[in-house]
Structure 1
Amino acid sequence: MSLHVASRRRTTLHRDFPDALILDVTSRAPEPWVRLSPFYPHGGIPVPGHPDRTAQSVEGVWQALKVFASEEEDFSKLEVTTMKGIKRTVRRLGPPLGHRLEGRLLGYEEARRLIYLPTYRWMLDHRAPDLVAELRELSTKHTVVLLDYTTNGDVADLSTPLSHAALIAQRVRDL
């Protein structure tokens, strides 16, 4: 199996991965690969700690449960279907205090582990299993490069955002 993750901004992709199948998996990707973006509105995604709620997207869950000094959770983010206007930014709201889960404010790494990872994995397993299986098949025949804006696959590395492409690659390898 030959599966790699690279930055969408990398200018040497074709030189570094000659003859590779290069697939963008961001919110700007073409169909069907855009369906692997955390912003994609699959619908019916369970919200951790809220058995009565579902979300349109993984990013909607992440943003909805984020807490700022000036603003608590924003459950309206669960309903966003446009892949735009989901983010709740530091520029507008100041630094986040964390993510609230079952009444507890979680730090960034713990929130990644208890909210983001299980939600994204659920989406891969229940909303995009066909694409995960196709990537597995493709990566046995070709070198496949998944493009994302970041390449950080280490949940504990808080210096840069977590790469969902790295999570896809791990899920494909785990099958």
Structure 2
Amino acid sequence: MTSKAPDPWVRLSPFYPHGGLPVPYFDGVTSQSVEGVWQTLKVFEHADIDLGKLEVTTMKGLKRTVRRYGPVQGHRAGPQSEQLLPYETARRRIYLPTYRWMLEHRASDLVERLRGIPDVVLLDYTTNGDVTDPRSPLSHAALIQLYLEGRWPEEN
């Protein structure tokens, strides 16, 4: 479920450049990837949003780090908004809807293939499937499992 996965499974990675993914809070704006949305809307102590991350198609150069920009202040809730969403709220209102949209509109064929496999093991770099646990990034394998089981986390 990572950017290092073989074809076709790499398409389930949030870094994969599907194109045309709607950006929450930005009417009519789209991103190449889920990760592009997440990184674009992140606001740091020394850097605001970066719309350039929406256009990245290489699965590289997407990350924006605290080492370079200072502590994360939140995720911006719109291009003109002063509101910064705290981490869990941003996960629920930005990340989850964007990843779910990608599963439903850009990788639905793979989701259906997974539904047809009786026993499947999904591998990821992390195992955190708890949206409320900020100690580690969300596991996409865990999110896919929740989606397949009809237990997708609450988005609002």
TM more than 0.5 = yes
TM-score (norm 2): 0.92
Where 2:11 maps in the other structure, the secondary structure is helix
Q: State the structure with more CA Rg.
A: 1
What stretches of structure 1 of length at least 5 have no aligned partner? 1-24
Equivalent residue for 2:63?
87
User: Residue 171 in 1 paired to residue 150 in 2?
Assistant: no
User: Residue 152 in 1 paired to residue 131 in 2?
Assistant: no
In the aligned structure 2, how far is the partner of 1:147 from the partner of 1:95? 30
Residue among 107, 125, 129 paired with 1:128: 107
The higher relative CO (CA closer than 8 Å, separation ≥ 6) is in: 1
**Bigger strand share:** 1
What stretches of structure 2 of length at least 5 have no aligned partner? 152-156
TM-score (norm 1): 0.83
In the aligned structure 1, how far is the partner of 2:42 from the partner of 2:53? 10
User: Residue 118 in 1 paired to residue 94 in 2?
Assistant: no
Identical columns (%): 68
User: Residue 58 in 1 paired to residue 37 in 2?
Assistant: no
Contact 1:136 1:173 in 2 (8 A): no
CA RMSD of aligned residues (A): 1.0
Which contiguous aligned blocks of 4+ residues in structure 1 show a shift greater than 3 angstroms? none
Q: How big is each residue's C-alpha offset from its partner over 1:43-81, in whole Å with a ceiling of 9 and x where there is no partner? A: 000000011210000000000000011110000000000
Give the length in aligned residue pairs. Answer: 148
